[in-house]
Structure 1
Amino acid sequence: MCRTGPSVPEPGEEHDVDSTDAAFTSLLEDSAEELYEQAPCGYLSTLMDGTIAKINTTLLDWLGLKRSQVVGRMRFADMLTVGGKLYHETHFAPLLQMKGEVSGIAMDIKTAGEQWIPVLVTSKVKTSENGEPTLIRTTVFDARDRRAYEAELLRGRKAAEEARRQSEADRLRLQEALAVLQQSLLPAELPAVPGMEADSYYHTASPDLLGGDFYDLFPLDGGRWAFFLGDVCGKGPQAAAVTSLARYTLRAAALHNADPVRTLSTLNTVLHDRYAGGEGRYCTAVFGILEIGDHHAGVHLASGGHPSALIQHADGSADYLPTPGGLLVGVLPQAPFVAARTRLLPGDTLLLYTDGLTEARTGPDRERYGEDALRAFTAAQPPAGPQALITALSGLLTSFGDGLDDDTALLALGIPATLPTSAKEDLT
């Protein structure tokens, strides 16, 4: 039978208790000494002035020194780098003297080969029975693995930060490209219409997504002018493709036959035929014709599923021009579209808008802004023409903040309350 440690007598055996205890105690002393010398961390004891009185083999091996070079010849601070010595004298030693114990302080010790080893230092003051400090016991933990981990972590953080900066730069470049593309889907500026005033505005809800709202104003034959405003379902490149197709189809169709219902019917056929075989693409749209007369402008328009146009009158009132029953453009092969007529007089302004405006969420309950609120807001504005109304509405859109989650296009057309002489001559 193989035994380790002090022998334990079998039942009935006799043994010498004193000799067994002495052997066990001897083994403990040897184990404690070996543990101290070969411990995985450094141990040393210093006098109160820092002179090293005892040091274990582990710490000597780290330093590359012999015991005779250290004990009684060096102070603890002599093991430290220049910066470590300064920190020891100004912070570590005073704190140890005040508290009697300092734990886990990061320092660097210097080897005989002038290399640095990062360590964590814990020191505790031992006192005599009468409370007088007698020596300082210090434990030194090798922090090279920890330092390597921290360095790797720092490199990882720097790499992540660089990736974040690069991502932000890429996002800004993408936003710039999207803004350029978005502008290419809209007229650079509205043309000057004799005897009338026109203005427009486009509010982008997200600079990271292409919107599908569009508008235009262009001349036809016989002094007539065509205008339209629409909203393609969806966002992104697919919506942009439909937007481009819708704009150029409406312009081409208007030059061939400017009747509003016929023009929207042509767009409906093009969209349905183009996208019927795959994912359906459709839009809402208002298309109209302006016939400018003497101190007025006749308006003939048709709507395909689009919010009704709003008229701000010269007397300060505001009313919608109903176009009920118009179907979304591109959904069915044959779609009904509703036409309406009105006349703009001096001081009147016709407003077209996309539903990003009326679908905005406002107030603490995030209620839909709605058509009634838009009419009330418009009626509250001075009837000062399209530019003034567009300016007021752009401020309203900004006030919605994150409650506005869809792009919004605005187009306003009106007869100035006071016509300049040149405009009167053009009208006559």
Structure 2
Amino acid sequence: MLTPSSGEEVSGEEARLAAVRRYQVLGTAPDGAFDRIAALAARVFDAPMASVSVVDADRVWFAATHGLDGITQIGRDPGLCASAILHGEPYVVPDARTDPRALSHPLVRGEPGIRFYAAAPITTRDGQRLGTVDVWDTRPRRPSDDQLAALQDLAALVMDEMELRLSALRTVAAERDRRADAERLARTLQRTLLPPALPAVPGLQAAAAYHTASADEVGGDFYDLFPLDDGRWAFFIGDVCGKGADAAALTSLTRYTLRAAAIYDPDPCAALANLDTVLKGEYQGDDPRHCTALFGVLDPAPDGSFALTLAGGGHPPALALRADATVEALSTAGGQLIGLLPRPRFVRTTTRLRPGEALLMYTDGLIEAHAPDGTMLGQDGLTAHLSRARPRSADHLLSSVDELLRRLGPGVTDDTALLALSVPPRLAPPTQETR
């Protein structure tokens, strides 16, 4: 065990351990989320072993392992995990047998005979390092800068998942303490499954909304928008099967998996295929789970437009509102349900969003709503509504759909998630008269 050398260090370690306790992750049962991070880390490094570790007072506990079968925790011996949390950046041991920091570590001297070790710290918003995402190998090696950057991204994803879990735990505990009714609990839990706010994308307007059909039941619709590390942006929207707690768990898994998949390979079809593999691995036997989704990547161009690549798996088509007031369905017809079929097909399409154009994505609760006369809205009805309204900004687009949903009233029987993106029109250069 590491022994601090000053009172200041004791206080720092006490604060770190308090943060470890705060996130309530030590000793929890595996749920698959961290296992996928460990597997991705091993794949990025082409290494046989990886882990997500949490450093306790006198032990290192593995929240997830890949290739380290049977090892759930180790002592807090210096040189590997216990030393890595002392650094705010990636920690690398190229050859443990020649590195004085790690030479005497039990995993180096004994089985499995570790030679190479790399780790990125899992750091809270207030700077406390809870543990690390680790990669292990039995041969010496030197990682690339890109591999270390990816390891830092995976550590950040672990922290995001811990924050999400902590938020849910605090929400449920607070609601229980106040003996809140089922409606408030469901509404609060629903918020924890969605991003609290969309990020600002240069040159793009983005807006999202979630309409619940039942105030006391958690739905399974989801959406997200986030940056990639090459200047592009990724987004997705989807709908999982079922309602209630099971749907909430599946929604969290799906959203988290799609974000993690985009780090390894942001190709939209590859992201959906990765999700399909995860769902089949997590829900096997007689209790399969599935979802529909659209996954897209936006690539900004110098002229202010965005190249859009979109892939669909059983999801309604996105609608592009063009500058000439037409509404174009971006078809991914033929894309199949995710997590259900042996070898599903996912369909890709491409287009360009130019200044003055917008994109609407939605879940099927919208087009399956019924008018007072019993007719279903359908894609044709939605297209006709947007053609009449002619909204051009993301906010106006959602306002127009909100108005439609209010008009349909009790005919809306399923949750609806909405994600709208728009490219502001370019201002015309001033004329001689206006100068």
Superposition TM-score, scaled by structure 2 size: 0.56
CA shift for structure 1 position 312: 0.7
Superposed, 1:31-180 pairs within 5 Å as 173-180=181-188
Partner amino acid for 1:399? R
CA shift for structure 1 position 395: 1.5
1:254 and 2:276 matched: no
Partner amino acid for 1:236? G
CA shift for structure 1 position 419: 6.1
Separation in 2 of the partners of 1:379 and 1:171? 47
1:279 aligned residue: 287
Separation in 2 of the partners of 1:289 and 1:419? 26
SS state at 2:256 partner: helix
CA shift for structure 1 position 171: 9.3
2:424 aligned residue: 416
Separation in 1 of the partners of 2:262 and 2:323? 30
2:84 aligned residue: none
Partner amino acid for 1:264? L
CA shift for structure 1 position 172: 5.7
1:387 and 2:386 matched: no
Partner amino acid for 2:264? H
Separation in 2 of the partners of 1:333 and 1:191? 36
SS state at 2:348 partner: strand
Identity level (%): 51
SS state at 1:356 partner: helix
Superposed, 1:370-385 pairs within 5 Å as 370-385=378-393
CA shift for structure 1 position 173: 2.2
Cα 1:235/1:224, change in 2 over 3 Å: same
Separation in 1 of the partners of 2:211 and 2:391? 23
Superposed, 1:327-338 pairs within 5 Å as 327-338=336-347
2:246 aligned residue: 238
CA shift for structure 1 position 221: 1.3
2:61 aligned residue: none
1:399 aligned residue: 407
Q: Deviation string for 1:27-85 (max 9, x for gaps)? A: xxxxxxxxxxxxxxxxxxxxxxxxxxxxxxxxxxxxxxxxxxxxxxxxxxxxxxxxxxx
Superposed, 1:299-378 pairs within 5 Å as 299-364=308-373, 366-378=374-386
Q: Deviation string for 1:140-159 (max 9, x for gaps)? A: xxxxxxxxxxxxxxxxxxxx
Maintained 8 Å contact 1:197/1:385: yes
SS state at 2:230 partner: helix
Q: Deviation string for 1:243-274 (max 9, x for gaps)? A: 00000000000011000000000000101111
CA shift for structure 1 position 322: 0.9
Maintained 8 Å contact 1:213/1:409: yes
1:184 aligned residue: 192
CA shift for structure 1 position 418: 3.0
Cα 1:383/1:396, change in 2 over 3 Å: closer
CA shift for structure 1 position 277: 2.1
1:211 and 2:231 matched: no
2:296 aligned residue: 288
SS state at 1:340 partner: strand
Separation in 2 of the partners of 1:242 and 1:171? 26
TM superposition outliers: structure 1 runs of 4+ over 4 Å:
none
Partner amino acid for 2:339? G
Q: CA RMSD in A?
A: 1.8
Cα 1:273/1:419, change in 2 over 3 Å: farther
* Structure of larger gyration radius: 1
1:197 and 2:210 matched: no
Separation in 2 of the partners of 1:209 and 1:383? 32
Give the number of equivalent residue pairs: 252
Separation in 1 of the partners of 2:254 and 2:344? 16
1:225 and 2:233 matched: yes
Partner amino acid for 1:259? D
Separation in 2 of the partners of 1:334 and 1:249? 19
Partner amino acid for 1:358? I
Partner amino acid for 1:395? E
Separation in 2 of the partners of 1:362 and 1:222? 45
CA shift for structure 1 position 384: 2.6
Separation in 2 of the partners of 1:185 and 1:218? 15
Maintained 8 Å contact 1:351/1:410: yes
SS state at 1:397 partner: helix
Maintained 8 Å contact 2:391/2:400: no
Maintained 8 Å contact 2:392/2:422: no
Superposition TM-score, scaled by structure 1 size: 0.57
CA shift for structure 1 position 283: 0.3
Separation in 1 of the partners of 2:422 and 2:389? 15
Separation in 2 of the partners of 1:369 and 1:418? 34
SS state at 1:350 partner: strand
CA shift for structure 1 position 210: 0.6
Separation in 2 of the partners of 1:305 and 1:172? 37
Q: Deviation string for 1:373-419 (max 9, x for gaps)? A: 11111111234311101011012112211110100000011110136
Cα 1:291/1:375, change in 2 over 3 Å: same
Partner amino acid for 1:191? P
Separation in 2 of the partners of 1:298 and 1:269? 28
**Structure 1 runs not aligned, ≥5 long:** 1-169, 422-428
Partner amino acid for 1:290? L
Q: Deviation string for 1:271-322 (max 9, x for gaps)? A: 1111122311100000010001121000001000000110111221111011
Separation in 2 of the partners of 1:219 and 1:420? 30
SS state at 2:336 partner: coil
Maintained 8 Å contact 2:289/2:340: yes
